[in-house]
Structure 1
Amino acid sequence: MTAAPWLDTRLKVAEHAAAVLADEYAGADVWLVGALAEGLAHQHSDVDLLLITPEAVPGPGSSLIHGTRVDVRAVSERTVHDWRTLLDAFTVTRDGIETFRTVRAQLSDLTLLRTARPLVTAPAHAEILVPEQRATYQRWALADRCEAAASLAEDLLGLSQSGLYPHADLVWDQLARVVAQTETVAAGAPLLGEKWLPSLLSRDHAEPFRPVPALPEPRWLSAAAHSPFFASVQARLADALLVLWPTNAEPEPVDEAGLGGFGWLPQRYSDGWFLRRGDARVPLTDGSIRAWQKSAARRARS
């Protein structure tokens, strides 16, 4: 948590704005949401508030309070109920991804719930999410970031095979941030904007900020045949997933040849583990994902 003076200033502005909204909208709750609710702010940060009303109402929009912009999003109690319903269970399967598509489209809304902090609220609403819903949010957010990583890996495969190495370098830098996001989500942080990664990465450490870990220097010319530099991505994603889906299964050999090669990345749905590269998906057992992760970690150290 940052102790900067602009954080305290914005929290006071949020409390003032919430009191005004509570007077104007009878029966409404007002929640502080976003990075500020997580104790993250800079000198020009806006204050984001969620106004929850019994029925849908036109939103009050934005205003300036003591020089600080306050953005208010108005939603109905029914809308918040629908958001919560998506956090009741992690239900995506390899053959049924419709709910996952819905969740990914609304992940920013679910992040509002995950970060929400009551400012004007009834006692019954004091706990925005119960622990089980927070855990489900983590799983949806981590699955989302693994999907993003898989999409970037597919781009890297195509760009490197086409000789578009400067383009691949840009995607490689983007992948480094996505991998870091998987690690912060696995550690319990909400999925906030990339600019907050140095703060989120440092929450379990003594230093105030940690740079986003750089990925190894890529060797695009040999990527298809020999890509130990990609193993660090594979191992770190597997480590993040195993935080939320731990297993004590004995490692089992992975029979399919080439699954440790360039582009293959792990994912975990409610019906188990699989490796993905592009449109190809190979199911794994708990034991085989452990063996695959250990192999990736060895290659990353070599």
Structure 2
Amino acid sequence: MTDAWQPAPWLQTRLKVAEQAAAELADEHFGADVWLVGALAENLAHQQSDVDLFVVTPDDRGPAPELRSRLTCGIRIDVRAVTKTTVHDWRTLLEAFTVSRDDIEMFRTVRARLSNLTLLRTARPLARASDQAEILAPEQRATYQRWALADRCEAAASLTEDLLGLAQAGLYPHADLVWDQLARVVAQAETVAAGAPLLGEKWLPSLLSSRDDAARFTPVPALPEPRWVSAAAHSPFFASVQARLANALLSLWPADVEPEPLDEAGLGSFGWLPQRYSDGWFLRRGDARVPLSTSRMRAWRDAAARRART
């Protein structure tokens, strides 16, 4: 039996400092809630980590004040004030996952606000003046997952488009750099699908660890060494990206249907990636889009998984 996980001393120190700073801010701003946000709110910190706090002010107090960072016990406290109306507007974006292939304006809005939504997703109340029972309802947390995963799939598609062009042009050192970026985006997609917020890349090893308090995250091996000379025509190694993104998406949109035979006609080749919008599944490669039923998406995923094992 393993020992129960114990937080590192620098994590414990920062959590105590956060509580102290939150109490001071609550006294300074009557009627405001104070939240711990970001990686520290997810029990992630290193020995130089700052503490990030939100001061949520009542609307009848006017615009949110400009607050300065402060030092407490030698630790930097970054403070940001927002009004309750602003928080309400962010919550509204998490009411439903609404993006279609013909209308992605809402998706653009959410992607522009995703860093704020991530802070909202991580928020932990430290000082509370209101009677808000919970910061996000379970349904809103689930919607956040879908927005964040869709965002990572869009990022993967953009990187893959660069990867395809670089490989075709013979710019292999450039492609190596983009491949490394793609590996991290795929890992982020998997952690989001497993329930984690979309935190900075530096926290991926923690989110992918097998530590007792993070058992829901499965360690993911590095992507295999690419072979760029043959990449544009045939690249089984890219199938690992295809299968892993498809698995992440299917974990949030599960369906008990049998895979339907699919004539891939090149849809499994280098560059094709899956995506799921509110109006269904599709594959994309650059500007090309191919809608698929759920059963055919499962068949495409199964084929990618087989290629990845070769």
Equivalences for 1:177-188 in 2 at 5 Å?
177-188=184-195
Partner residue of 2:183 out of 152, 158, 176: 176
Where does residue 81 of structure 1 map in the other structure? 88
RMSD between aligned alpha carbons?
1.7
Residues 48 and 71, structure 1, Cα contact 8 Å, conserved in 2: yes
Q: 2:20 matched to which residue of 1? A: 16
For residue 30 of structure 2, give the secondary structure of its aligned residue in structure 1. coil
The count of residues paired between Structure 1 and Structure 2 equals 302
Q: Is the CA contact 1:197–1:212 (under 8 Å) kept in the aligned structure 2?
A: no
**1:235-283 deviations in Å (ceiling 9; x for gaps):** 0000000100011111112235100000000000000000000010100
Checking the alignment, whether the CA contact within 8 Å between 1:92 and 1:270 is kept in structure 2 is yes
**TM, length-normalised to structure 2:** 0.94
Q: TM-score of the superposition, structure 1-length normalised?
A: 0.96
- Give the secondary-structure state (helix, strand or coil) at the position aligned to 2:38: coil
Q: Secondary structure at the match of 1:124?
A: coil
State yes or no: 1:51 paired with 2:55: yes
Q: For residues 175-234 of structure 1, what are the alpha-carbon distances to aligned partners after superposition, in whole Å with 9 as ceiling and x for unaligned?
A: 100000011001000000000001111257689998763111111111122110100000
Partner of residue 225, structure 1:
233
- Cα 1:95–1:229, aligned 2, differ >3 Å: closer, same or farther? same
- 2:252 is aligned with 1:244: yes
CA 1:195–1:125 in structure 2 vs 1: closer, same or farther (change >3 Å)? same
1:63-102 correspondence to structure 2 within 5 Å: 63-102=70-109
Cα separation, 2, equivalents of 1:262 and 1:183: 20
In the alignment, which residue of structure 1 is the partner of 2:285? 277
Deviation larger for 130-139 or 47-56:
47-56
Q: CA deviation at 1:14?
A: 0.7
* Whole-Å separation in 1 of the counterparts to 2:27 and 2:118: 27
- 1:301 counterpart = 2:305: no
Identity of aligned residues (%): 78
Displacement over 3 Å in runs of 4+? 203-212
2:43 aligned to which of 39, 46, 62 = 39
Task: Give the gaps of 5 or more residues in structure 2.
Answer: none
Aligned equivalent of 2:147, options 112, 135, 140: 140
* Structure 2: distance between partners of 1:207 and 1:100: 30
Indicate if the aligned counterparts of 1:156 and 1:172 stay in contact, CA closer than 8 A: yes
CA contact (8 A) 2:33 2:130 kept: no
Specify the alignment match of 2:136 in structure 1.
129
Q: Counterpart amino acid of 1:33?
A: V
Report the AA paired with residue 158 of structure 1. Answer: G
Aligned to 1:198: 205
Q: 1:149 maps to what in 2?
A: 156
